[in-house]
Structure 1
Amino acid sequence: MIAPLFLAHGSPMLAIEDNDYSAFLGDLGRTLKPKAIVIFTAHWETDTLTISSTNGVYDTIYDFGGFPDALYQIKYPAKGSVAWAEKVGEKLSASGIPVRYDGARGLDHGSWTLLSRLFPDAEYPVMQVSVNPYLDAAGQIRIGEALRGLAAEDVLIIGSGVTVHNLRIVDFHATDAAPWAIGFDDWIVDKVQTRDFASLARYEELAPNAQAAVPRAEHFVPLLIALGSADPASQAKVLFRGYQFGTLSYLSFSL
């Protein structure tokens, strides 16, 4: 069994910068040997949940601008799996969640930057799944719940996002984390570790500094999906916690 993960993908520079977080991801990846990977990425938004479905090698999507040329030279040649994509889709459909399949879209940076650090040899089949940030928090959790049981088949579910993600107020010169960002993450850690789904479903009104931390939900909902997919008897663990630019959180969980 492989526990679901929520991992911060932060800046695209993660793919080429060596730091404490990239080292953590490398160490984590060496402990995991999944049969397949299902990754919900904040950078693919659709009204209907959409699953990548191909047996071929994904293109690497550079969905960002203004970064060093070296970042645009990276290729992450992961393959997909139509069989696994259909299995994921069947579980979602059985819970009343509509799904579509996409055989053409490549891996966006919410997926490949993390995966290139976790599994640099790209040896495991990957199913990338979109998010709908307009679905309420309870609905996001239900998506995860529909996928319970995949962990017992050694399928790794990853929610790829960021808990505190407000690029309008990052401080590129900051060396310390902003207290308000820490306060939001403290609340999230408590609710995740106590599996307080009721409070997490109302994070927008209950969590301190929620509007500043989550001005838009696309980077937050992968946490709710991954949490919903976890075994109800499991104990969530904080795997990494750190901040960049004062407020960009790298909080990551095993769920």
Structure 2
Amino acid sequence: MLPSLFICHGSPMMAVEESPYTAFLRETGRRFKPRAIVIFSAHWEARTTTISFAEGPLPTIYDFGGFPDELYRMTYPAPGSPAIAAEVEERFRQSGIGTERDVGRGLDHGSWVFLRHMYPNADIPVVTISVHPFLPAAQQIAIGAALRGLGESDILVIGSGTTVHNFGEIKWKQEHAEPWAVEFDAWIVDNVTRRDTDALANYERLAPHARRAVPRAEHFVPLLLAYGSSSGTAVPRVLFEGFQMGTFSLLCLEM
């Protein structure tokens, strides 16, 4: 049985970088061998939960600007899976969650940048799902819970985002982490590992520096979605911790 993961997808530059973090991604790909991957991506927003039914090879979306030409020549032509997408859709239907289909959606950088390191052969079917950042946290967890059990079918559910994501607070050349950002991540880790769902559903009120860490929730809610999708039986654990540029969190979790 596969767990659910929360993965920090990082900057688009991570696609061409070699670092302890990209080495971690490669090792994680060697640990988990799914037959398909389902990703909630912070870079696909929709008011209704939308599922990619694209068959593939999936187009690579360059949803960024001002980066080296090398990045725009990269592709990650993973196959899609309308069959897995239909299974996801049915699970949402059974949970009373309305959905829409997108038959042409490719992989945005919230998906292909880290998948390129985890599964470089691009041979595992990928189904992406949109996020709605303005829904209450408890509702995000409930949306994720509709997919609980996919791991028993060797389908890897990944929430792709970043816990602390505030470009106004980034210290571009700073190597050490800001204490407030560390405190926020520590609170998240504590409550995820204890499976304190009530606390996580109220993180905006209870977590230290929540408004500073999460000024807009699109990068944070994939964690709640992945948490909701987990089996609830295994003890969650930290896979990777660290910060770039003072405040940009690289926290990754297995749940």
Task: Read off the aligned partner of 1:81 and give its amino acid letter.
Answer: S
Structure 1's unaligned 5+ residue stretches are none
Aligned to 2:212: 212
Task: Read off the aligned partner of 1:84 and give its amino acid letter.
Answer: I
Alignment of 1:1-255 (within 5 A): 1-255=1-255
Question: Identity over aligned residues, as a percent?
Answer: 55
CA distance in structure 1 between the aligned counterparts of 2:188 and 2:133, rounded to whole angstroms: 18
Structure 2's unaligned 5+ residue stretches are none
Q: Is the 8 A contact 2:141 2:227 kept in 1?
A: yes
CA distance in structure 2 between the aligned counterparts of 1:83 and 1:175, rounded to whole angstroms: 45
Task: Read off the aligned partner of 1:85 and give its amino acid letter.
Answer: A
- Residue aligned with 1:168, SS: helix
CA distance in structure 1 between the aligned counterparts of 2:66 and 2:180, rounded to whole angstroms: 29
Structure 1 residue 35 displacement after superposition: 1.0
Q: Is the 8 A contact 2:52 2:127 kept in 1?
A: yes
CA distance in structure 2 between the aligned counterparts of 1:185 and 1:95, rounded to whole angstroms: 30
Structure 1 residue 144 displacement after superposition: 1.1
Q: 1:208-245 CA distances to partner (integer Å, 9 max, x unpaired)?
A: 00011000000000000100111111110100001000
TM-score (norm 2): 0.99
- Residue aligned with 1:239, SS: strand
Structure 1 residue 106 displacement after superposition: 1.2
- Residue aligned with 2:40, SS: strand
- Residue aligned with 2:122, SS: coil
- Residue aligned with 1:38, SS: strand
- Residue aligned with 2:169, SS: coil
TM-score (norm 1): 0.99
CA distance in structure 1 between the aligned counterparts of 2:185 and 2:12, rounded to whole angstroms: 22
Structure 1 residue 33 displacement after superposition: 1.2
Q: 1:138-190 CA distances to partner (integer Å, 9 max, x unpaired)?
A: 00000111111110000000000000000112011101000000000000000
Structure 1 residue 54 displacement after superposition: 2.0
CA distance in structure 2 between the aligned counterparts of 1:98 and 1:36, rounded to whole angstroms: 23
Q: 1:56-112 CA distances to partner (integer Å, 9 max, x unpaired)?
A: 211101111111111111100011011110000000110000011101121100000
Q: How many aligned positions are there? A: 255
**Alignment RMSD (CA, Å):** 0.7
